[in-house]
């Protein structure tokens, strides 16, 4: 039994979709970051990521999936994605 349910996330595929959305819109990582960081505190929080992925890549994800993405990118474990963490994650799929 797999039983992984809704939170079973293909992160690699998701990141690829995000990167192709970026390329399509001709956005740099910096521009992506500032579009997602709506309160401009220099970090992307769960709700900001949720909204950003929905807007940019058309990916509507569950809170559990969002936490997994943050976990996978978050190198300094502050539960937020900063610009270098985002760009490292994007470089990995390019």
8: region left, alpha or beta (phi > 0 left; psi from -120 to 50 alpha): beta
Interaction pattern, residues 12-51, with Ca ion; x per rule: CB under 5 A: -------------------------x-x-x----------
Least separation in angstroms between CB 82 and Ca ion: 5
Contact residue for Ca ion among 1, 60, 76, 94 (CB under 5 A): 76
Asked if 69 and 9 touch (Cβ cutoff 8 Å), the reply is yes
Give me the sign of the Cα torsion angle 56, 8, 89, 85. positive
* Tokens describing residue 47: 């709700």
* Using rule CB under 5 A, residue 74 touches Ca ion: yes
User: According to the binding rule CB under 5 A, does residue 78 interact with Ca ion?
Assistant: yes
**CB contact set of 2 (below 8 Å; sequence gap of 6+):** 8
- With binding defined as CB under 5 A, does residue 71 bind Ca ion? no
Chain residues binding Ca ion by CB under 5 A are 37, 39, 41, 74, 76, 78, 80
């Amino acid at each position: 039994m797999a039983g992984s349910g809704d939170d079973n996330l293909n992160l690699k595929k998701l990141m690829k979709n995000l990167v192709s959305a970026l390329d399509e819109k001709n956005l740099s990582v910096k521009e992506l970051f500032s579009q997602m960081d709506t309160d401009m505190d220099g970090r992307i929080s769960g709700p900001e990521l949720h909204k950003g992925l929905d807007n940019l890549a058309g990916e509507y994800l569950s809170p559990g999936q969002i936490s997994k993405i943050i976990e996978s990118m978050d190198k300094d474990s502050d539960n937020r994605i900063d610009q270098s963490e985002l760009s490292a994650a994007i470089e990995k799929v390019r």
